[in-house]
Amino acid sequence: MDEASEGRRRTGWIALVFLLPALVLLGALVVYPIFFSAYRSLFDKSGDAFVGVDNYQTMFASQATLRAIKNTLIWVVVAPTVVTALGLVFAVLSERVSWSTAFKVVVFMPMAVSFLSAGVTWRLIYEENPNLGLANAAAQGLANVVRAPGELPGARPTDEELLQPSGRAYVMRGSVSPGDTAELGLVAIPPELIPAGAQTAA
């Protein structure tokens, strides 16, 4: 055996030694669990009785399983197609249009913003209070266009410990017995909606 062959053989053994730890981990953490799971799937739920492919027949007879498979196939086909198409569109817009610089700024600006700043921004956008959150303010504005905002739009309780919001109304946090008096103060009522005989609260 010449020196070249001996050198290649030695190099092969060295490569195998370096690959061996990775191969052992791959076999123990990936290959073995796959075959063991396939083997255990041929038993019943107790793990004692061998049932063959009965579990697979039951699984594929379920509408939920078929729906999951259909959704997975749609996702596998649609998602790469949409991502590839959008990537091509972005590539064209970023290079071959007169306003490519502005387009690049819009597309790449989020990458220049830190995750902390982005989190704070989205937290403000999704703030539950419509007076603070942009998303809820827009949703409330759209709802007011479609449906009247209520008898007293914008009114809020003077004591938030007594009343809590529930949809487009307020409900009491506690219970009141029959015959008891419950004073439920409201503020921010538009002047034109205040009844003529209303008096200032003491």
Ranked by mean pLDDT, which of 14-18, 39-43, 179-183 comes out on top? 39-43
The domain tally of the chain equals: 1
pLDDT above 90 (res 181): no
- What pLDDT, on a 0 to 100 scale, did the predictor assign at position 148? 58
Give the CA angle between residues 154, 160, 166 to the nearest 5°: 65
Phi, psi of 165 (to 5 degrees): -65, 140
Confirm if 137 and 130 have CB atoms less than 8 A apart: yes
User: Residue range 129-143: average pLDDT?
Assistant: 76
Indicate whether 48 belongs to any domain.
Answer: yes
In the chain the first and final C-alpha atoms are separated, in Å, by 110
- What pLDDT, on a 0 to 100 scale, did the predictor assign at position 187? 65
DSSP characters over 1-36 = --HHHHHHHHHHHHHHHHHHHHHHHHIIIIIHHHHH
Q: How far apart are CA 163 and CA 185, in angstroms?
A: 9
pTM, two decimals, is 0.37
Confidence of residue 10 (pLDDT cuts 50, 70, 90): confident
- What pLDDT, on a 0 to 100 scale, did the predictor assign at position 153? 61
Indicate whether 188 belongs to any domain.
Answer: no
pLDDT above 90 (res 36): yes
Indicate whether 88 belongs to any domain.
Answer: no
Indicate whether 22 belongs to any domain.
Answer: yes
pLDDT above 90 (res 24): yes
Indicate whether 7 belongs to any domain.
Answer: yes
Of 64-73, 132-141, 166-175, where does mean pLDDT reach its minimum? 166-175
Confidence of residue 168 (pLDDT cuts 50, 70, 90): low
Indicate whether 137 belongs to any domain.
Answer: no
Rounded (10°) angle between helices 100-112 and 63-95: 130
Ranked by mean pLDDT, which of 90-99, 145-154, 156-165, 191-200 comes out on top? 90-99
pLDDT above 80 (res 172): no
Indicate whether 172 belongs to any domain.
Answer: no
Indicate whether 4 belongs to any domain.
Answer: yes
User: Residue range 12-33: average pLDDT?
Assistant: 91
Range of the domain at 42: 1-61
Mean per-residue pLDDT over the chain, rounded: 79
